[in-house]
Amino acid sequence: MNVVLVVAEHAEGRLNPSTAKSLRCAHALGDTEVDILVLAADATPVAAAAAALAGVRRVLTVERPENREPLAAVLAPQVAALAPGYTHVLGPSTTFGKDLMPRVAALLGVSQISDVMAVEGPYRFRRPIYAGNAVVTVEAPAGKVVVATVRTASFLPADGGGAARIEPVALRVELPAHTRFLSRSAARSDRPDLQTAARVVAGGRALASAENFRLLYGLADALGAAVGASRAAVDAGYVPNDLQVGQTGKIIAPELYVALGISGAIQHLTGIKDARTIVAINQDREAPIFEIADFGLVGDLFQIVPELERLLRSAANPGAS
Ligand SMILES: Cc1cc2nc3c(=O)[nH]c(=O)nc-3n(C[C@H](O)[C@H](O)[C@H](O)COP(=O)(O)OP(=O)(O)OC[C@H]3O[C@@H](n4cnc5c(N)ncnc54)[C@H](O)[C@@H]3O)c2cc1C
């Protein structure tokens, strides 16, 4: 029997969907009991959401003021303190999990298994390497706790309808004082979250300026989509780096991905491999993005995108024009 601890990702009192996907991965281990751990200053709403997921034994909550912000240095010793008694400790392979889980693994003296995309057995996993160009099967030593991050694009969220019991845990763990929260600077947006959006419109170097990127926002709004970008667009300063999609950005799995003026470098494609439908607009018919696109338009995005937006808006509101 596997006994798995899933570390919940949350912000502003809301459980991130990455937790339900990590839970699905935990269930794939086979005969398994799963607890979800919520580290927070006030865990109430997040714990309630976690308890409503199907197939959870208990939701453990550790409430202390230091857990107000998700600082990996502060959370890791608490996760590590709870790890004995579990066969596996799982977190999502998101910015949160990639920050936290290696520290947990280091504190427990084990090697982390990163980016689990499939479970072949309790100690055998498949994970991508070489920017997703190859998939390797790795085996963790049995008898030691497995610390792993879950590639969220590879797992559907666990179902709802659960009613797990919620248990507060008092942990006597000394927390490090070398890392303190000072402030958060995050771009506020009314658009859907890039990591979890069903539709994403992304732009590349071809947009050529932050101002031109606005063209893409109009199309994203007409589609109800999140906005993403290639690394070239981020490096050029057209958009902030939290919009970067790809190997060193976000790995996403939307229903629809629209790539505008993006060549399709392998490091970018790594981030969109699991997108259901890919639409590419590029003026170079030889661009590699067309090799994986389901629909491709060869042409100048500065002409095509406004027309596309106009068509979408008039289809949504036929009486207006
Ligand atoms: C270690 C490493 C990690 C990396 N990680 C990432 C990552 O996470 N994400 C990422 O995206 N990249 C990443 N890269 C960079 C990657 O290799 C590419 O350089 C980058 O993706 C290119 O971005 P781009 O497609 O916007 O630009 P380009 O490759 O310059 O492509 C621009 C495209 O726009 C087209 N175009 C130009 N004008 C127009 C127009 N008017 N209308 C239509 N099309 C037009 C061109 O034909 C071209 O295909 C990484 C690289 C390395 C080495």
Residue-wise pLDDT tens digits, 41-79: 999 999 999 999 999 999 999 999 999 999 999 999 999
- Find the mean pLDDT for residues 167-175: 94
Determine the pLDDT at residue 131.
78
Instruction: For residue 270, report the distance from its CA to the centre of ligand 1, in Å.
Output: 13
> Tens digits of per-residue pLDDT, 250-308?
999 999 999 999 999 999 999 999 999 999 999 999 999 999 999 999 999 999 999 99
DSSP state of 213: H
239 in Cβ contact with 217 (< 8 Å): no
Listing DSSP states for 4-60 in one string gives EEEEPPEETTEE-HHHHHHHHHHHTTSSEEEEEEEEESS-HHHHHHHHTBTT-SEEE
* Full-model pTM: 0.82
In eight-state DSSP terms, residue 157 is: P
pLDDT of 40 over the 60 cut: yes
pLDDT in tens, 129-162: 987 789 999 999 988 999 999 999 899 999 999 9
| pLDDT of 321 above 60 | no
pLDDT band at 110 (very low <50, low <70, confident <90, very high): very high
- Taking the C-alpha atoms of residue 111 and residue 117, their distance in angstroms, rounded to an integer, is 17
Per-residue model confidence (pLDDT) at position 316: 82
E strands, 64-143, in order:
88-92, 112-116, 118-121, 124-129, 134-139
Element (H, E) at 97: helix 95-108
Give 134 or 316, the one with higher predicted confidence.
134
pLDDT at 320: 64
Mean pLDDT (the chain) is: 95
Determine the 3-state secondary structure of 184 from DSSP.
coil
Ligand 1 atom nearest to 287, measured from its CA: 49
**Cα separation of 124 and 109, whole Å?**
19
Ligand 1 centre distance from Cα of residue 267 (Å): 9
Pocket probe mutation, ligand 1, options 133, 205, 241, max atoms within 8 Å of Cβ: 205
